[in-house]
Structure 1
Amino acid sequence: MPIVTNFAPSKYNGDLQNWSCTQDVYGRMFFGNNKGLLSFDGYNWTLTPMPGNGVVRSVMADGKRIYAGAYTDFGYFEQNLYGQYVYTSLWPKNYKAHNDEIWNIIKTPNGHVYFQSFCSWFDYYKGKITSHFDSKNMPLYFFSLNKEIYVQMINGDFYLLRNNKFVHLLDRKSYGDDNVVAALPYSNNRILLLTEHNGIFLFSKGKLTKWRTKIDNDLMKYQVNRGVILGQSTIIIGTISNGIYAIDNNGRSKWHYNMENRLYDNTVLRLFIDRENNIWAALDIGISLIHTGIPLTILRTDNFNQPIGMVYGMSIVNNNAYIGTNLSVWRYDIAKGIINQVKKTDGQNWYVARFGNDIFAGNNLGTRVINGNESVKMPGAINGSTSIREYSYYGQTALIESSYSFFRIYRKVGGKWIFSNSLTGFSMPISEFEIDNSGVIWAAQMSKGLFKIELSKDLKRIVHWHYYKSMPGTVYSVKMHVLNIRGRVIFSDGYKLYTYDDIQKRIIEYHELDNICKKGVISAINIDNNTFWIADENGYSKVHFNGHRYDTEVFIPSTIFGLECNTSSNPIYVNGNDAFFFMNNGIGCYRSNSGYINNTKYILKITKVGNYDSDNKLHLLSCNDEEESISTNDNISIALSYPNYNNEKYIFKYKLEGSGTNINSQSESPNVVYNSLNYGDYKFTATVCSVSGKVLGQTVYRFSHNRPLLLSWVAFIFYAILLYIIIHIYINWRSNKLIHINQEKANDELMRKSLKVLEQEQIIAQQQKLLLENEIEVKGKEMASLALANVARKNSVEAIKDALREKERTGSLSRRDIDRMLSMIDNNDTDQFWSVFQNNFDLIHKNFFRNLHKKYPNLTPSDLRFCALLRLNLNTKDIARFTNLTIRGVEGARYRLRKKMDIAADKSLTDFLIEFE
């Protein structure tokens, strides 16, 4: 059966139902989904919603356009410069809808595009839409076939559409009062009409006959919904409730897929054959791809009565395939498709091998010899058998078999292989082994490590063995695999390949296959002296040695089969040009003589270009460098598309040139990102190659990382001028600052000297103050002495006066003399006293008289002298003597002073004058 790949809604990020499918000029697949238009190139899915988020019921690719039909709308999608699909509606604005849903789109050879609903149909030609509605003839399906348009009417007959008119061809009753759901080309210009419930009819020259098939009962039971022709001899039929059938042009069943044997859903809504002759099925849930265009098939055992288990060995003898699994050995009749269990082979079977006419099975309980559906235990094989090889050295031929403990020898006697002996001197569980050119056995221990084992020439015992716990350069011990490639024994630890150097007598790394497989090698099996298969963790590679190097001719990814692959030892069996790959409940098959040549040519196309900003958000750029100048920042992301639906191992080679950059890289992904780009113009070249190195496509893209204006040469000249100005300004500023600093230093020095002079002046002033204070003190003392002297004089004068008056009374002196003497004493003494007193008093009391007269200008000189005496705190009696006044006269003077100076009665006049400044 062909291989099936399923795409779940979670894979393509769309809704469950897919109503239609098509393929564009670039080879990309498109699907009408409930959520919009889905596109797929084998690597990436893209969903483009319809305006209003409508359901896309029909799609049809025409060149670069993708026509799409929905509810009361139809139009086309085209890519803009940024690789995004943009929708343009063609729905006629003036048309009165009849609940139209566009279910079908076809293009006629003369360029007309028809959009068909269950009520109307619309003709799009040279940019003009012509609508057609006939309530008596409403189409169910349009079929484009042999340059004609055939029509099945709703609940009506079968017609031909010519010149926009329906021409009657068949009465509905002639094909069972049913609906024709597919019209397919058949030989000699005949047509096969597939009906929903009445099978298939052959229409030829106006006559209709029943076309019998082996699956008529199923077709009538499960309701046919779609049909397509694969090649010229296989009819593919999709049903509503039981998946997809394939029959040949004679009506014989070829295969059938439904949910029981891995089709994703049983309801087929649309079928499409792509350019590589693969079948796409748009399903009620998901999408399925049936790989009918490649030389890979699979023996599926889902419909057998019981599972066969994980396959570990296989051998084809006389059109029978003997299959060893973990459950049993099975005999599969290839011609009849019948499988039977070989008796007494229950349990684990590590291999099935044929030597001459004998078929051996390495059963867990011992070696068994198979004959048809029967098996017998090999005498002497007392425990499980894990691997077996032919040994031809020292002029003898034997079979060597490994087991859970011993190696066993079989020799041929009477044309049959019989047990000879167990080898002594060694006992270890061995999973696989190979024999090198010198007869040395290299055996992998079941858990970890590798043994080098040398046998005696009589094959009786092991004369020497050495255990390699790990490979050179490693410290870990792992499960080893032993391979024989073109006669050389190779070891694999899952990471690297190694071999034994007979000259250096040690294990060394093996690099001749580095371009083929990097790691994870499990096994190898030779086809001929220069060609072999290698199995690794990614899949299976057919390798050819051309005399100089090893090249991969074919790569088959293990994931394509849809079953778990055997990752144990020897998961490949080669029979002639066919290779078989062991899986769980199935066997994959590659037929190299199938005549398959993939001549499909696609265009390597750039679908998305952008750059990332600081927030890691992608900003789209134009995908077409011929339309505009492309400018990016310092990174660019480029996504390409080259359809790959069969999981081919395509290699994308990238080259970036420009601005001193020359970067070459390659990847299996059609996406590349460049970061930290220099300023300048770049040329990006992408090349896609097959696994054998054949160039399949190439594209070139040019872009620039332009300097921003602030980093342009003009800007740099401006920056230079600006820098010169700044430097000049700085030099001036710096010079002025230095001058200012020096001036400040000079000013500070001057200030310091001034302060020093000031300090000296202050010292002088303080000294002068002290001198002044001393002088004032002296003056004060002088004034006080003067005052005292004056008081004494006054007392003496008074005494003289009294004496003179006494003499006058006695008559010793004349009156005139006495008066003149007294007057002279009073005037002279008084004027002299008050002159000295006033000067000294004003000096001591800081311009007392001046300040007092300034504040109270109406004071007389007598008032000022009286105030001075009060400030000196003299008593009334002393004041009276100074002023030649009576006691009452002094009191009167006090009173007058209070009035002139406006001093409150409760305020002491003496205190006021003492405090006065």
Structure 2
Amino acid sequence: MRFTKPYILIFLIFLSFTTIGQVKNIGLPEIRNYKRTDYKGGTQNWNIDQDKNGNLYFANNNGLFQFDGSSWKKYSLPNSSAIRCLKIDDDGKIFVGGYDEFGYFKANSKGKLVYFSVSKLINNENIKAIDFIWKIHIHKGEVVFQSFTRAYIFKNQKLKLLESPNRFQFSFQVKNQLYFQDISAGILEYKNGKLFPLKGTAVLNTTEIWGMFPMPGNKILITTLDKGLFIYDNDKIIPWETEANNFIKKNSSLGGVTIKDTFIILNSVLDGMIICDLNGNIIQHINHKKGLQNNTVLTSFIDNKNNLWLGLDNGIAFINENSPFTYFGFSYDLSTVYASVAYKGNLYVATNQGLFYHSWSNSIKENTFKLVEGTTGQAWNIQVIDDQLICAHNRGALLISGGKVIKTLDNKGHFGFKPIPNRPNYLVGSTYYGFTIFEKTAGGLSYKNQVGGFDLSANTFEIDEHNLWLKKDNLIYQLTLSDDLNRFKSIKTHKNLSNSVKGIGSLQRIKNNVYFQTDNRFYKYSQEQDLFFEDKKISAVFKDVPKIYSLTEDNYSNIWYIFSESLGVLMKQKNGAYKNTIAPFSSLTGNLVNNYISVNTIDPENILIGLTDGLAHYNSKLQNYSASKPMAFIRSFSYPGDTIILGNGPNKIEMLKIPYSANRVKFTFSSPTYENLENVEFSYQLEGFDDRWSTWSSISIKEYTNLREGDYKMKIKVRNSHGIQSEEAVATFTVSPPWYRHFLAYLFYILLVIASVFFIRNRVKMKIRKNKYYETIEQRRLYLEKESKIRQEQYELEKEIEKLKSDKLQIKILAKDKELVNNSLQVVKKNKILNGIIYKLKDINVESFDDSTKFQFTKLNKSITKEVNADKSWKDLEKHIKNVHFDFLKRLKEKYPTISPRELDLSTYLLMNMSTKEIAEIMNISNGGVELARYRLRKKLGLNKKENLIGFLMSI
């Protein structure tokens, strides 16, 4: 949707400014254009109506279009023909007429508009074609569908026909009367099912009548396509020779509508529309140049808030007539406005393009503002000082008279001028490079000098009896002028107003005193004490005011202030108190000029406000209907499988149940509030899901997913551009639980748990009994095992005892063997000694002995030899060893059959742990022979070098 908002303010005309009702003859109202691409419709919007819920309906070439303030919806006739007319009755039925089709739309149980054809009641044998239905009227309980050939009267679900005398043009309702125009019979009045001609109206048969409106004194205003305007009075048709008639004759009429029987809106083919009073004086003229997207107005409609809707040949327009604001902007050749002033019959406006003016004694509805000659460029201010008009301009300080510059006081760029207290003949001006002094002389204002000692500049400065104050770069400069005004004799800066108050927000003059403000606390300066002190009385006035950025006091002691790019005013009351007003100015938010608050209060009905794209005119005496409480609607409620639409008639959502599988819901919101739509905001809360209300937002859609089962209540409220909140709109619904969390499912779960407990209990009992049985068996088995184990341990103990005994015996045997071996070795040693003795005795020469000695010697030798030969200890030893180690020798022989007897003996000696020396002596071989025998034995046994021979033999 495209929004064209020509902020156009036309500066009033002192005596010609008349405001009757809500229509203003100063400037233009807010205009909002809806293009075909916004509502995705066709060309030509023929008719407009509104239902009780505030929804608007448009009869369009592509069908019926509904607008709820948030979204557009399209509804078509069965034959998809263009809709030329519509009318809504008190029951919410939307009667429509198209080509060869007419009937009505009505909301079904789910809120969707469903079409019911009335034309089906026609007997097709008698009527071959219906043609276009051009007008629909609800007249005394009857619904009248008018085509060119006849009218169809619908009542109590029955249809009757009203034939035209020749051919109908159009039909009109004027208060309680219904009139038809016939191309040959003139204007006909419909009464009790019949047509009665009005006298004297046949003179209009050569033209098309497009509108009939009530006038005072039971007169009727008739608008024609190409003949102009006429008054029907006392059976006579009289031309209405007025300003409005001249306009219609020039631009052709397409009908219109009245506003409270006070104003008449007249549509035209060529030049938009006009609003005139009952005397035919044009109050407003709105066309393409002034903001309409199309100059052909096919229909006009006044909604329930007295705003104007226009159905155009291409598009739709909304005109905010109920607002106390009108605007002057591009169509009046105005750009950014920094200041305005009314002076000697002219209205002067300082803009970024120069100083413009307009006469203030003639109508300015059509004329643009003119540029004051020589002022092209940035004009910062325009002021009346001592009955002289002086402009602060980029080109310097300029004196203005009429439409031209009469004198350049100083060629340096200036921001503004202020009189010097106690020095009535002097002015101080703020320039781009400090300050200048102007002197009032007999010849008028003249430049005196540049003030020395200070070269900073700013548009925000004030002056009192002692100091000139300048706010710049978050600092306040306190400047004291010398007596001759040639220089500043002292300059101080202030960063804070006190130790506890940081920063300085603004500098302004209130009640002729200079005030310094920060965080809505206002301070004055004490020259005697050289400090700032708070004026609690003024601070109290701003206690409940939003944090301000800057302010100005007008001629009526009203205090205008800027906050968050918005405007507010503290209106001075008769009792001296102030009334804070913010809401009416919400439409100006974002359009005010930064750092320049331009409010020119000529009187309470003429307040001019500078904007970035023109000038706004505000009449504080007019009632602002848009400040009433808005309505909020939950426009639709959708979930997978179904959609319920609210706001189409009286239907409401009862407690609705949706399945758990469809627990994704979407809501759309709407509010039939059409003023300042960009500032309309919604807030919502889904009770059962949201803990608090959502923040305000212009988004009109909300979706929830994965909702758990339970009861929910969707609440929605809307806040209009004036900050006024609506009542809550509510929709309740229930999300059914999934089958596995259904009540019956829980009942089944309980029964299942009980059965499971019973089953488990019996199983446990059986298990316990079985376990006890098996426990008894197990205990018996364990007892037997333990008994068997004890017996086995007893047996093994006995075997161990036997083994110990055997080992002990074996040890004893081995000990005896060792002892026997030792004894045998002693015998062997003895024999060896004896053999040595025998050997040595052989070396003795016995021949030298005497016989007795020789006998004794021989006897000794024989005795020794006998002892040696008679000793059998070694053979006994060998026999004993073999007997003791018989089993070992047997196992060794079985395992190694190739082993020799001598190797068996060696193995026995090794098993007995005999040393090499002992073995050598027993076997009568050398130690080396023992080692060789050991090597051969290892080889025969298959042992490697690392294996222990004795350990191996012991393991056999």
Q: TM-score, normalised by structure 2?
A: 0.65
Residue type of the alignment partner of 1:34: N
CA distance in 2 between partners of 1:650 and 1:585 (Å):
19
Change (3 A) 1:224 1:551: same
Between stretches 81-90 and 697-706, larger displacement belongs to: 697-706
CA distance in 1 between partners of 2:70 and 2:454 (Å):
52
Of 264, 278, 290 in structure 1, the residue corresponding to residue 319 of structure 2 is: 290
Residue type of the alignment partner of 1:363: H
CA distance in 2 between partners of 1:678 and 1:505 (Å):
62
Could you tell me how far 1:184 is from its partner in structure 2? 0.7
Change (3 A) 1:726 1:10: farther
Residue type of the alignment partner of 2:391: A
CA deviation vs aligned residue, 1:378-407 (integer Å, no higher than 9, x gap): 53x340012334564x89896443221112
CA distance in 1 between partners of 2:109 and 2:425 (Å):
71
CA distance in 1 between partners of 2:651 and 2:232 (Å):
53
Of 409, 420, 433 in structure 2, the residue corresponding to residue 405 of structure 1 is: 433
Q: Show the counterpart of 1:92.
A: 120
CA distance in 2 between partners of 1:663 and 1:702 (Å):
17
SS in 2 for 1:344: coil
Q: Show the counterpart of 1:101.
A: 132
Could you tell me how far 1:483 is from its partner in structure 2? 6.3
Residue type of the alignment partner of 1:153: D
Residue type of the alignment partner of 2:377: G
CA deviation vs aligned residue, 1:345-388 (integer Å, no higher than 9, x gap): 23221111223412221111111122333434453x34001233
Q: Does 1:357 align with 2:387?
A: yes
Give the conservation status (yes or no) of the 8 Å contact 1:366–1:385.
yes
SS in 2 for 1:555: helix
Give the conservation status (yes or no) of the 8 Å contact 2:45–2:316.
yes
Residue type of the alignment partner of 2:150: S
Of 585, 607, 610 in structure 1, the residue corresponding to residue 637 of structure 2 is: 610
Of 7, 10, 13 in structure 1, the residue corresponding to residue 40 of structure 2 is: 13
CA deviation vs aligned residue, 1:726-764 (integer Å, no higher than 9, x gap): 99979989x99x999xx9xx99xx9xxxxxxxxxxxxxx
Q: How does 1:90-129 map to 2 (within 5 A)?
A: 90-96=118-124, 97-108=128-139, 110-126=140-156, 128-129=157-158
Q: How does 1:37-76 map to 2 (within 5 A)?
A: 37-63=64-90, 64-76=92-104
Q: Show the counterpart of 1:907.
A: none
Q: Show the counterpart of 1:175.
A: 204
CA distance in 2 between partners of 1:397 and 1:686 (Å):
64
Residue type of the alignment partner of 2:81: G
Could you tell me how far 1:87 is from its partner in structure 2? 2.5
Could you tell me how far 1:704 is from its partner in structure 2? 4.5
Q: How does 1:577-616 map to 2 (within 5 A)?
A: 577=604, 578-583=606-611, 586-593=614-621, 595-598=622-625, 604-610=631-637
Could you tell me how far 1:159 is from its partner in structure 2? 1.4
Residue type of the alignment partner of 1:32: A
Could you tell me how far 1:178 is from its partner in structure 2? 1.3
Q: Which ranges of structure 1 fall in alignment gaps of 5 or more residues?
A: 751-770, 779-917
CA deviation vs aligned residue, 1:216-274 (integer Å, no higher than 9, x gap): 44422322111222233322211112211223222223232221222211111111122
CA distance in 1 between partners of 2:533 and 2:588 (Å):
37
Q: Does 1:455 align with 2:484?
A: no
CA deviation vs aligned residue, 1:1-26 (integer Å, no higher than 9, x gap): 33122222233333332111012222
Q: Show the counterpart of 1:224.
A: 253
Between stretches 31-40 and 261-270, larger displacement belongs to: 31-40
Give the conservation status (yes or no) of the 8 Å contact 2:95–2:104.
yes
Residue type of the alignment partner of 2:238: T
Q: How does 1:535-614 map to 2 (within 5 A)?
A: 535=562, 539-543=566-570, 551-558=580-587, 566-567=593-594, 569-577=596-604, 578-583=606-611, 586-593=614-621, 595-598=622-625, 604-610=631-637
CA distance in 2 between partners of 1:480 and 1:2 (Å):
35
Of 442, 451, 475 in structure 2, the residue corresponding to residue 423 of structure 1 is: 451
Residue type of the alignment partner of 2:383: A
CA distance in 2 between partners of 1:235 and 1:212 (Å):
15
CA distance in 1 between partners of 2:412 and 2:459 (Å):
14
CA distance in 1 between partners of 2:235 and 2:416 (Å):
66
CA distance in 2 between partners of 1:670 and 1:65 (Å):
30
Give the conservation status (yes or no) of the 8 Å contact 2:460–2:471.
yes
CA distance in 1 between partners of 2:208 and 2:400 (Å):
55
Of 397, 405, 414 in structure 2, the residue corresponding to residue 375 of structure 1 is: 405
CA deviation vs aligned residue, 1:603-661 (integer Å, no higher than 9, x gap): 72524243677xxx996587889652135787865544443233289877857585597
CA distance in 1 between partners of 2:455 and 2:708 (Å):
65
Change (3 A) 1:179 1:462: farther
Q: Which ranges of structure 2 fall in alignment gaps of 5 or more residues?
A: 1-26, 786-889, 898-956
Change (3 A) 1:239 1:427: same
Could you tell me how far 1:565 is from its partner in structure 2? 6.1
Could you tell me how far 1:158 is from its partner in structure 2? 1.8
SS in 1 for 2:52: coil
Q: Does 1:264 align with 2:293?
A: yes
Of 155, 163, 169 in structure 2, the residue corresponding to residue 134 of structure 1 is: 163
Of 31, 47, 62 in structure 1, the residue corresponding to residue 58 of structure 2 is: 31
Give the conservation status (yes or no) of the 8 Å contact 1:540–1:555.
no
Q: Show the counterpart of 1:329.
A: 355
Residue type of the alignment partner of 1:335: S
Identity among equivalent positions (%) equals: 22
SS in 2 for 1:242: coil
Aligned length: 735
Q: TM-score, normalised by structure 1?
A: 0.67
Residue type of the alignment partner of 1:630: L
Could you tell me how far 1:202 is from its partner in structure 2? 0.9
Could you tell me how far 1:590 is from its partner in structure 2? 0.7
Residue type of the alignment partner of 1:38: F
Between stretches 451-460 and 276-285, larger displacement belongs to: 451-460
CA distance in 2 between partners of 1:497 and 1:371 (Å):
40
Change (3 A) 1:700 1:239: same
Give the conservation status (yes or no) of the 8 Å contact 1:606–1:638.
no
Residue type of the alignment partner of 1:261: K
SS in 1 for 2:416: strand
Change (3 A) 1:709 1:424: farther
Could you tell me how far 1:122 is from its partner in structure 2? 1.4
Q: How does 1:751-766 map to 2 (within 5 A)?
A: none
SS in 2 for 1:335: coil
Give the conservation status (yes or no) of the 8 Å contact 2:392–2:414.
yes
Could you tell me how far 1:151 is from its partner in structure 2? 0.6
Residue type of the alignment partner of 2:134: W
CA deviation vs aligned residue, 1:119-159 (integer Å, no higher than 9, x gap): 23211212x23242637533221111131111112465221
CA distance in 2 between partners of 1:618 and 1:499 (Å):
60
Change (3 A) 1:201 1:658: closer
Change (3 A) 1:315 1:673: same
SS in 2 for 1:329: strand
SS in 2 for 1:198: coil
Could you tell me how far 1:598 is from its partner in structure 2? 2.6
Change (3 A) 1:715 1:360: farther
Could you tell me how far 1:556 is from its partner in structure 2? 3.0
Could you tell me how far 1:723 is from its partner in structure 2? 7.2
CA deviation vs aligned residue, 1:834-869 (integer Å, no higher than 9, x gap): xxxxxxxxxxxxxxxxxxxxxxxxxxxxxxxxxxxx
Change (3 A) 1:544 1:618: farther
Could you tell me how far 1:183 is from its partner in structure 2? 0.7
CA distance in 1 between partners of 2:318 and 2:652 (Å):
36
Between stretches 193-202 and 77-86, larger displacement belongs to: 77-86
